[in-house]
Structure 1
């Protein structure tokens, strides 16, 4: 069974999911059901047959955001040349599970956190094309709102400092504190664009060294154009990172702010998931090591 990652998450065993599917979608009841143990932290994910994926929120907060997630998924589907999830159906609470849930189309490919991508220049070019394609989507008058990544770096200061306090035995906190102080002096001058919002390796699918698809698109929406540049630090090094940067065609300040957003995400992953999700914790540590080796401020 997957370790508990959050204090408020609900248990989602395979038998419960099978019962939900049988009750709500009886035509799919005979399909094999397989738990997918990736690095995701928001949803319990199960492959249903060959072509479907069942996604069930683990926590009340993400569950409340399911309508927005489905709308974002539909907004992006078919808008770039790279596959993204297609909403197939939505299920109701039941069988002791308290939230609505969704079924999306399966996308073939290997998650990038299961293969080496540091030098993957073709992948870097593809992912940059995806970032540009998402930016080209209409804002429809929307602007960034809320406290998540992609707005004002200063609003994350309390969280980052809490991470420092909890990471004394895991990271070189004095060096990271000094770097964070420099990030806080960065201006934010770019207008919002549409971003994916969470381009971590587990959401990037690869086939033959190329981008095969992008998952977890529920965070799609207006944000700092630098936000999706986190992929440059989570996934790439050296020439591959430079190819990603060039392909994204942003300014120098956006690139620096992209490093800052990667820092904000990574510093929380290390301590928070050190026991419950070691792969996510390792991602955070690896990303921070890349940033410290090449600080842009």
Structure 2
């Protein structure tokens, strides 16, 4: 396949969207695994899947983002055009409005308590979006949105492989605790990749949420992972504001049933990644489908912003 670089983007834009052909193209500084992103002038960004396994997310975001944007008060990506294969590039691609801001992982002025409240409000709003147009959790979401038990074989295999290199008893306790709870309400929207690289901030506050490639409808427990990976103490309760479920009503703490199912999304990937690096666990991770192994292990860089952005609109 042709290298995904600025020359390719210029060729694609000039051929398919000549009205933007004169705009400067430059790559963002921090690229993601799934996509390569380039600034197109000051107002736009071009986003191209890096491999066939990520192509389905183009159509899904084209379809889902307008639905979500109509109901959410928090800015989300806005697709203005979708390109077709061309210039030696074999996949569809998209042009989006540029969202200014710093990612949580790059920002220096985060008000953590405020961020926790803002994120909790966003997740609550997301769960309240009517779900009739949402794709049910499955292969397209790497089984995020399903009960964590779908990864049971991977977790057991990883812990057997690692032996005493990890606290297997503690890992099993977290896992078994998660398996004892379930989502007992109708499916709700979930983002699927709530992480420090997919949250934009301005003035220390949450300003936008990006990268909905793994979104869908199902169990929203996976969206509470930052309560364990980033927030501490009282912040956790704010970021994990309860989903609308009888089992969690009145229990905003991350320790509720939904929070218990979210813990494996933090605790279990580490041992499975370690096991995969040993060469005897099939390269799998509990944050992935049992059959999907395209993405290298480890934290992703988000693909839609250039780390610390100096633009502001």
TM-score (norm 2): 0.75
- Could you say which residue in structure 1 is the equivalent of 2:212? 217
Q: Is the 8 A contact 2:104 2:110 kept in 1?
A: no
Q: Is the 8 A contact 2:64 2:133 kept in 1?
A: no
Q: Which of the two has greater helix per residue?
A: 1
Cα displacement (A) at 1:183: 4.0
Gaps of 5+ in 1: 1-8, 283-297
Pairing partner for 2:17 from 13, 20, 25: 25
Pairing partner for 2:264 from 254, 260, 263: 260
- Relative to structure 1, the CA distance from residue 37 to residue 234 in structure 2 (aligned partners, 3 Å threshold; closer, same or farther) is farther
Q: Compare 174-183 and 20-29 and name the one that shifted more.
A: 174-183
Secondary structure of 1:280's match? Answer: coil
Cα displacement (A) at 1:95: 1.0
TM-score (norm 1): 0.78
Q: Is the 8 A contact 2:57 2:214 kept in 1?
A: no
Tell me the matched-pair count.
271
Cα displacement (A) at 1:130: 0.5
Q: Distance in 2 between matches of 1:279 and 1:181?
A: 20
Deviations 1:230-273 (Å, cap 9, x if unpaired)? 13223312222222234767621111112223335565667679
Whose relative contact order is higher, 1 or 2, with alpha carbons under 8 Å and at least 6 apart?
A: 2
1:207-286, aligned counterparts within 5 Å? 207-246=202-241, 251=248, 252-264=256-268, 280=299
Gaps of 5+ in 2: 249-255, 278-282, 285-294, 302-313
Secondary structure of 1:226's match? Answer: helix
- Relative to structure 1, the CA distance from residue 280 to residue 248 in structure 2 (aligned partners, 3 Å threshold; closer, same or farther) is same
Deviations 1:68-95 (Å, cap 9, x if unpaired)? 2211112112422211011100111011
- Relative to structure 1, the CA distance from residue 27 to residue 141 in structure 2 (aligned partners, 3 Å threshold; closer, same or farther) is closer
- Could you say which residue in structure 1 is the equivalent of 2:180? 186
Q: Distance in 1 between matches of 2:42 and 2:156?
A: 45
Q: Is the 8 A contact 1:72 1:219 kept in 2?
A: no
- Could you say which residue in structure 2 is the equivalent of 1:151? 146
Q: Is the 8 A contact 2:112 2:235 kept in 1?
A: yes
- Could you say which residue in structure 1 is the equivalent of 2:310? none
